[in-house]
Every structure is written in C-alpha cells, then in structure tokens.
Structure 1
C-alpha cells in the first residue's frame, strides 16, 4: 500500500505536564509527524506554576519530584536542565507529625505505611504503648485470602490497628493524595504494600527483608523520603518552559479549548473554540485533559468509556505560602516540614518549610512555608475567602511553631478540582476505560486521572500515550481500522442514534 509523504497530524488535548511530555516524545521520535497541543488556558503547565513575589520563590503545586523513577531526571537532562537539578538540603530530620499539638519526628525507617526498623517505633512518642503493641502484632497476622481491592484505611487498620493509621499513615498519605482514606484504593495508591502482604505475609517482615537488601536507602528514610526528591533551580516552571521551548514553533496553541471530538472515517475531527476554523482534522488524538473535560469530549466517541471517566472524582485544596524572619519562629526548624492527622482536629493538612528544603527560595534570614488546606476531608474550609484562608494558615503556624508577628509575605493559590481521587475499584475502572478505547487505536487518554499523581507519573503517562499513538499512526491503515466498540450497557439502538448524530454533526459543520 502506498503511504503519503505528508506528516501524520497528531492532536494533544491539554497542555499540562502530561500533554507536554506526550508532545515532546512525539516531536523527538524521528517520525514524520506534525503535532498540535491545544491548551484551553492562557499558559501551559497545568497546576505547575512558579511565581516570584518580593524576594521569595513560590510554587503553586508540586515543588519537586521523586527520583526513584528516573523518568523526570532523564527528561531534565534531555532538555538541557541537568546542571539545574537541586537535591534537598542535607542535615535535617525529614518530616514531623503533630501529636497533641506538638511536633514529633516520624520514626526513622517508617516509609509511608510500614516500618523497616523496630526500635525507632518503640522509642517514638507518637504511638501509645497499646498502639505500639498492636502494630507489632502485624508481624504474626495471616495474609488476607481475598484478592479484592479495599480502602487504605481498612488495609492499615486490619494490619496495624487504628492508632497506627490515625497517627502515622493517614497524615502521610493524606499529604500526598488529599483524599478520604475510607474511600482511597490501596491497590491504586499503594500496590507495593498489597504485594508485600501477599509475598511475605507481613508488611513488617517484607520491609525488614527489603532493608537488608538495601540497607542505606531504607535505613535513612523518614516518612516521605526527602533524600530521594529533587527540584530545579528557579522552580518547577522551568521544566514546563523547557518542554514548551523544545516544541516546534506553533505547536502549542493557548486559549484554544477543544469542545468536541468526532470520528471522520479513519480520521478525527476536533471542534476548536479559538475563533479560527471551527473543525480541524487529525490522524490521531491524545486526550490529556482532566477527567471531567475528557469525559465530555469522548461522549460521542464511546459513551461507556466517557461515563466511566466521568466517575473519577477530584478534590480541591488551597496552598498558602507565608514568609517570616527566622527570629520570628520560636520552635526549632530542624525538619523539612510537618503533617497533621485528622485526629488532631486542626485546620491544615501539612506544612512544608520550602526554603529549608531547597536553596534559593528565600533570603538567608527568612523562611518560606507552604501550608495546605482543604482536601476531600476538609473541603468546607475552601468556601472561605482568600484573606481568611491566609489568616487561618498564619494562626495555625503561630500556635504550632510559636511564631510572633505578622508574615513578611502572603500568597495563596487555589487548586480547584486538581487532585484525582483513586477510590476503591479505581484500577478496574481504568481497565474498563482502556478496554473500551482499544477499539480506537489512534485515540488514547493520559494523565493523572488514570494512575499516578506525581510529576514522574504524568511524564510517564504522556510518553506511553505518545508511543502508543506512534505505533498506531505509523501502521498501514489496512493493518487496523476504526471499529465500533463492543456494545455493553448501552443498547444497539442508542449506538445507532449516536452514530447518526455524529454523522449529522459532521455534515452540519
């Protein structure tokens, strides 16, 4: 079959980290493609945004990325940012956790959900004697026979008891997902620990064995393993800017929301609300938008996939940045920040000492702190106006850190419906979505809605989507053809009406 020499046109919907990573993978692949990234807003990067205010460098969302997955570090090197990578400032004690209003160090070797060392847990003031005894019983408990997903809370309480969950696991995991632990899927968020239970019968036993295999890496960890986190000199927006600069001129189109996707033979027609031609045709499409917009866009492609995507919920939070002179702070700042259990009945989720984690964020005589408010369990607080949220954050820090006087600087960034919530059954839902969309080899979805909320996960999701599309786009059209997906809960007549409506849309436009 004769192939045209014209480049294959690929649309990427969404200019966040996932969409930009997908576009970068496409344009650097060496394939004959022409990529267009449609971003509905006036800037790229999604939730990632670095701003300078006075003498302070402020991150509105992620301020770093984990390096256990090499994908983000590798991308930085590919973009010429290797010499701008910055690790956490050494010499601090990791994270703290609030206990009866006071901050206590997270036991050394405790990694998110389980300890790899016994003595630090026994010596810790975070758990009561009964809580320590109950958590130690985990070593002897039998593994769960059922293979079904369960909530994070149910999993931890079953293995370690309620106190370990309330005082250690919930605040640490809550700082990552801002989620309701009663609904959060352990299979989707912490699969490593589910596998550990299956393999070793006990998380403590599994952690101890892993520690023997990797003594240095595990023994020095406390809570979130900050030694494994990195950022960029000048902030995370530098990664966004470098990705945009790596794309050919005209690839990124800002203020260009896509409002509809319809099939047009073996091609895809996109309706773009940017004041230009209303419909544009592409050979392939990557939908890297959040679940809500993605569901709407796919409603005429596959209604069942669209319905499943629509069921992925999101949470919101506010990130309040406050700066103080170091001599305003009465408590010693020996850590990178602290997390707050829901059981403490406070109004903040966590606080990160940004300028102590990474250099170049504040003058040397000052400290920049980021306070997180809201999430799935305290969403009502976000009804407060910005001024009251900033005052609430300041009041909480004054109590906890014995701060005197007013902040040198205040800044707030609301992340509205920004954190996908992986409820129990999330993995099965994502598999259903993938199965439905498998009928369309030249269309796929990507992003944090489906698996992994961190920067590396978004990059990996974008890269995988690009590779999938390249494989389908470069294949001869007689190898595959767009076909109707299998009919499931939507009856055949509804599918016929939907196809007829799609045809009418193409004729009208």
Structure 2
C-alpha cells in the first residue's frame, strides 16, 4: 500500500509526483490516458512542432523555471521572436494592430494609442478616464464585464478585453469573476487607484529586472514545445511508480485509509490521495467520501475548446507574415476565437523557413458546439474563415485537431467564496488534497504550484 496516490497525470499530477519523489515519499500516480501531460501535449511531425494545448507560460511566474532548473533542462526554454510581436484584433471585418504599449488591455503609451483606429475617440477618452475614476470601495467580487466597463468603458471591453483577456479562460465577461480570474487587476486598482498607473508600474518593474543571458520574454516555451516540460518531469521519475490507462471511478475512506476503485476492477489502498483532476471528476470520485464537498466541486463550470493546426508552404500564403496572429471579439459573430502564426511566434516550429505553421482556436463559452463538429466540417469552417478574413485560398499541407471537451474551468463570480468552503472541507479530511486548474489559476505555472503545494500541505498536516 503506497502512502500517497496521485490521481491524474497532467502537469499538476506530475508536479505533485515530482515533489513526493524529492521528499522521499512512497507514491504511485495513475493516469486514464495513454500519455502523461494532460492538455500540455505536443506532437512532433516531420520537423513540425504542433501544440495541442497551451503553447507557452508566463515568464513572470517562476514555477516552470524553477522545476526546469532543478531537473537541469532550463537550457531548453525559449522566448518569443519579439521582432514580430505585433498582435491584431478583428474589428468591423478588418484587422487592426494593437497599439504599441497596450499591455493586456491597458494603454501605457499615449501617442500609439491615440493614433490607433481600433478604438473611437470617445472610447479612447473613456479609457483615459481610468486615471480619475475612484477605486472600488468594497471588497465584493464582480464580473470582468462590470470591472472593465467601470474602469475603461464598454468599447474597451468589447474590442480589447473580451477577446484578449476573456479568451484566456474561453469564458464570457458577464460571468467571469475578476477576483478569481484576474486578481492582478483588482490589486492594481486597490494599490494604484488606476489600471493605467498600475500597468505603468508593472512595466517599469519588468524592465528593471536583473538582466540574464537568456532571452526572457513575456511568454516563454520550449524548443520542442510545451510537451517537453511533461516529458522531462516523467523522465526524472521512477517509471515503476507511473501508470497510464488507469481510470479511477470511486474513492472511499474508512479507518484512516483511502480505497480507490479503478475501471479494471483494481482497488488501490493509500493513506493519502491527491486528486489532480478537473473539479467535476473530483466531485464524482468523492461522492461517498464527503457529499457536501462533492456538491460544491460539481458547481464549477467548464467550457469546451478546440485547436486546429495547419501547415502551409510560405509560397502559398498571399502575404508575408510578420505578426503573432489575431484575436476575434464575439461582437464580430465569427467562429474563430483567435489565430496564431506559430512558426512566427516561436523558433523551432517548422523544418525550415519555407513553411508556415498556423493554429486556429474554436469553441469557448460562446461557441461550444463548434468543438464537436465532424472533422471535415471543422476544417472547412476554419478554412472558410481564414479565406474570408485573410484572403488565403491555399489548402494546407496537413492539419491536426485537438478537442478539449469541458477542458477549461470557468471562474465565475463567487468562485473564491465557494473555494473557501471547499478548502475548509478538504482541510477537515485527513490525507486528502485537491490540485489543478479548477481552483486558483489555469496557467501551467499555476498548475505546477498547485501540485507541489498539495504535497507540502499534506506533509505539514
């Protein structure tokens, strides 16, 4: 009987397993799929690096750097090709470049922002009023919609915040909790009384960081894609402790011991269980352990999304690409959420510079039905939108589709209040921990932090 059972072999579960290994604990990890990494999945195909899930992590969060340093693969980390760092927004059927100095959704340079045709002059004036609008007096949660319209106005929400910020969570601004999804913005308002002043301070702090030999950019990845992160963690763990093709269906607790039931009839007994699975899976597993906890977990919403990567010859593309890509506001009533020029944004993504790798995003809370289209219908839909928006008529050399049903946790208004109740119930359960993107952050660094902290919390109980 192992002391610890980790259920879920995504990046969170792998981080938990690594922390257990470092601490010399007896553990096993089970994963229902035939691979480790979860949504951190990269396919290598004839020199093309094809991302299925996240293609990057934020450099301002240290967790990926830390684990890469500890496992000695930090030299595999790469930054973006920032000579092509422009991003566009589709507005009124036309692509408009985001003005220089626009950080997330906040302008930090006056002249480029003033000259940009993306936002009307009344909209620009309204965004500038952020400098004078008083900070929120109470500590109540509010939606992203309420927060952005209050500080920057509705035009900023519809044309910038919703596609750029809301798209990160594949959610709808009217439902998203700003405190849970973007606590940084709440803190900026509290500390500086203005998003513009707060972002200027953050920009100054970033530029004043100690210089390193590495190419540190805002977004970072790995030479062979984000999957290289999962592969290197797995490589540094004992393979006899890691199992794929093992799906848990029920957990029970009696007399200080957990019993986890698998679909193949196997029962695993352990003193501790770390559930590194989505909240809805955790709810199903814990139904007999703690019904109140299961009910709270089941209230977490999820959105579905899909990515489709397309490979082209550059000579078949009608124009030279010198940007990371574009995002699409929902007011444009399109199916595409965004499109990234992967081989422009990152090095090492194509066999040579005669190729172009493009990745399109579908689904999200507004168009979830697109995720479940038949394969050819999805391809035709994406190609039609690319043709209409960009004028590209060429057919791709190949494509790869990744579907993520219920793949993105939705931090709705009240999420943190419910999470406090969940964490209180978990604390009262000896030997139990929850970890992953359903709780306090959806990014890869957040997942690593969640997995490692789950272990430390159990060891300190």
Normalised to the residue count of structure 1, the TM-score between the two structures is: 0.86
Kindly tell me: are residues 216 and 400 of structure 1, through their superposed partners in 2, closer, same or farther at Cα, counting changes over 3 Å? farther
Residue deviations 1:106-133 (CA, integer Å, cap 9, x gap) = 1222222322222222111110111111
Kindly tell me: are residues 370 and 250 of structure 1, through their superposed partners in 2, closer, same or farther at Cα, counting changes over 3 Å? same
Per the alignment, residue 60 of structure 1 pairs with 52
State how 1:80-99 maps to structure 2 within 5 Å: 80-99=72-91
Say if 1:179 and 1:376, in contact at 8 Å, map to a contact too: yes
**1:294 counterpart SS class:** helix
Offset, 1:54 = 4.2
Say if 1:329 and 1:402, in contact at 8 Å, map to a contact too: no
**1:280 counterpart SS class:** strand
State how 1:46-445 maps to structure 2 within 5 Å: 46-215=38-207, 227-275=217-265, 278-362=266-350, 363-445=352-434
Kindly tell me: are residues 46 and 376 of structure 1, through their superposed partners in 2, closer, same or farther at Cα, counting changes over 3 Å? same
Say if 1:331 and 1:401, in contact at 8 Å, map to a contact too: no
The yes-or-no answer on 1:23 pairing with 2:12 is no
Kindly tell me: are residues 108 and 71 of structure 1, through their superposed partners in 2, closer, same or farther at Cα, counting changes over 3 Å? same
**1:198 counterpart SS class:** helix
**1:376 counterpart SS class:** coil
The yes-or-no answer on 1:451 pairing with 2:445 is no
Offset, 1:67 = 1.3
CA distance in 2, matches of 1:163, 1:369: 29
CA distance in 2, matches of 1:61, 1:429: 27
The yes-or-no answer on 1:13 pairing with 2:7 is yes
CA distance in 2, matches of 1:214, 1:61: 27
**2:217 counterpart SS class:** helix
Per the alignment, residue 504 of structure 1 pairs with none
Offset, 1:42 = 1.7
CA distance in 1, matches of 2:130, 2:242: 52
Kindly tell me: are residues 391 and 120 of structure 1, through their superposed partners in 2, closer, same or farther at Cα, counting changes over 3 Å? same
Kindly tell me: are residues 400 and 406 of structure 1, through their superposed partners in 2, closer, same or farther at Cα, counting changes over 3 Å? same
**1:318 counterpart SS class:** strand
CA distance in 2, matches of 1:398, 1:468: 52
Say if 2:59 and 2:217, in contact at 8 Å, map to a contact too: no
Say if 1:93 and 1:105, in contact at 8 Å, map to a contact too: no
**1:451 counterpart SS class:** coil
CA distance in 2, matches of 1:396, 1:430: 39
The yes-or-no answer on 1:470 pairing with 2:459 is yes
**2:162 counterpart SS class:** helix
**1:240 counterpart SS class:** helix
Say if 1:390 and 1:411, in contact at 8 Å, map to a contact too: no
Residue deviations 1:332-387 (CA, integer Å, cap 9, x gap) = 42111111111122210001111111122113111100000111011132342111
Kindly tell me: are residues 197 and 353 of structure 1, through their superposed partners in 2, closer, same or farther at Cα, counting changes over 3 Å? same
Kindly tell me: are residues 106 and 260 of structure 1, through their superposed partners in 2, closer, same or farther at Cα, counting changes over 3 Å? same
CA distance in 1, matches of 2:226, 2:312: 23
CA distance in 2, matches of 1:55, 1:84: 17
**2:240 counterpart SS class:** coil
CA distance in 1, matches of 2:405, 2:110: 40
Per the alignment, residue 4 of structure 1 pairs with none
CA distance in 1, matches of 2:208, 2:102: 14
Kindly tell me: are residues 93 and 63 of structure 1, through their superposed partners in 2, closer, same or farther at Cα, counting changes over 3 Å? closer
Gaps of 5+ in 2: 210-215
CA distance in 1, matches of 2:166, 2:133: 26
Residue deviations 1:119-156 (CA, integer Å, cap 9, x gap) = 22211111011111111122111222232111101110
State how many pairs are aligned. Answer: 454
Say if 1:329 and 1:401, in contact at 8 Å, map to a contact too: no
Say if 1:339 and 1:350, in contact at 8 Å, map to a contact too: yes
CA distance in 1, matches of 2:219, 2:397: 28
Gaps of 5+ in 1: 1-6, 218-225, 473-509
**2:26 counterpart SS class:** strand
CA distance in 2, matches of 1:18, 1:212: 32
